[in-house]
Amino acid sequence: MRKKINILALSPEQFAVLLSGLGHPAYRAGQILVWLYQKGARSFAEMTNLPKSLRQQLSEFAEIGFLETVKRQVSRDGTEKYLFALADGQMVETVGLPYNIGYSACISTQVGCKMGCIFCASGLPGFGRNLSAAEILAQVLQIKEELSAQGKELKSLVLMGTGEPLDNFAAMVPFLEAVRDPQRLGMSLRHVTLSTAGLVPKIRELAALKLPLTLAVSLHASNNTLRDKIMPINKKYQMEELLAACDEYSKLTGRRITYEYTLIEGLNDGIKEARELALLLKKRACHLNLIPFNAVPELGLSPSPQPVMQAFVAALRSSGLKVTVRRRLGADIAAACGQLSNKMSGDC
């Protein structure tokens, strides 16, 4: 049997081509997009203003690639974690995070991860595969729909789930197009943050697109010797190269970079590191987001104690750097940063 076309991945233009191939006028594309993105239709049968013949053809040749919700867990703090099954049986996790201004969805871009950062759970099961743009978009649509059923609104997206988004660049571009297209999600890219371990050539490629997207860069170290030890990608792209690419990103997009730094006890949390970090960042158009380390039992690392963290923050702030500390959300259901690894698939 021929593989059906997943219409979640289609742009309005591609839609119009598909429809004309089926012998229908292009304006039907607009009607279908309203059903999909505004009315939350899950089947062609629901699209009652389309002729029956078109609905029939679409069910034969196309599909709406929603993901199967295998499990949903809710944290004490209101964070919601979903385990979704993809069509080939692989699984991904997506998280809905409550903030004062509304909800944020933390989206996965790959099954597993190749980066091998020593503090992160995402790569523990190994690398599965890249997600398609449609599979990434489906996570957003499904979280959005769940939230709106509870009277809540999705305000922002963070590409910080499992995987390295810039290692799946080919899917990122059509995904971001769908996010900002007024006929589809219609969300400003100013409310989207993409976090990367530091794939320098891809940061430069993204910069050239001049999207108003926030780029978050996982630094986690203040010098190459330390970063080489904890993030294998640093052996390929050293910090000087990475920071230069980030400067170019800021210059071309006019956006400040968010540098992420997870504080791990005894590893990167000393005053020496704080001072080195201040020297590296204080002249740059950036903001530093400190992340309390979230425990991953297999990794044998611990979060920095409160006083150590406070001293680290104070040393950085005294240098004039803009520093924030990320709120820890969803830790009781292993939904916090670095804890996603599809563990839920084992116990359901």
Q: Which residues bind ligand SAH (CB under 6 A)?
A: 115, 117, 119-120, 160, 164, 195-197, 218, 260, 262, 291, 293-294, 296, 337-338
Q: What is the largest CA-CA distance in the chain?
A: 70
- In sequence order, what are the residues at sequence separation of 6 or more whose Cβ sits closer than 8 angstroms to the Cβ of residue 232? 115, 116, 117
Among 63, 80, 93, 273, the one annotated catalytic = 93
Q: Which lies closer to ligand SAH via its Cβ, residue 55 or residue 326?
A: 326
Decide if 337 is catalytic: yes
Between β-strands 214-218 and 192-196, what pairing exists: parallel, antiparallel or unpaired?
parallel
Report the candidate in 264, 278, 283, 268 with the shortest Cα–Cα distance to residue 323: 278
C-alpha distances (whole Å) from 333 to each of 76, 93, 203, 329 are 9, 12, 32, 9
What minimum distance in Å lies between the beta carbon of 160 and ligand SAH? Answer: 4
What minimum distance in Å lies between the beta carbon of 208 and ligand SAH? Answer: 20
What minimum distance in Å lies between the beta carbon of 286 and ligand SAH? Answer: 14
Burial of 116 (0-12, 13-18, 19+ CB in 10 A): middle
Q: Which lies closer to ligand SAH via its Cβ, residue 302 or residue 318?
A: 302
Residue 82 bridge partners (DSSP): 72, 94
Residue 58 token pair:
């679409």
What minimum distance in Å lies between the beta carbon of 198 and ligand SAH? Answer: 8
Alpha-helix residue ranges (DSSP H) falling in the chain: 12-21, 27-33, 52-61, 133-149, 169-180, 200-209, 224-230, 233-236, 239-253, 271-281, 306-317
Q: Which lies closer to ligand SAH via its Cβ, residue 92 or residue 291?
A: 291
Q: Which lies closer to ligand SAH via its Cβ, residue 196 or residue 222?
A: 196
CB-based contact 109:164 (threshold 8 Å): yes
What minimum distance in Å lies between the beta carbon of 247 and ligand SAH? Answer: 18
Decide if 164 is catalytic: no
Contacts 24+ apart (CB under 8 A), 32-35: 32/7, 32/58, 33/183, 33/184
| Chain residue whose CB lies nearest ligand SAH | 338
Q: Which lies closer to ligand SAH via its Cβ, residue 197 or residue 200?
A: 197
What residues are labeled active site? 93, 337
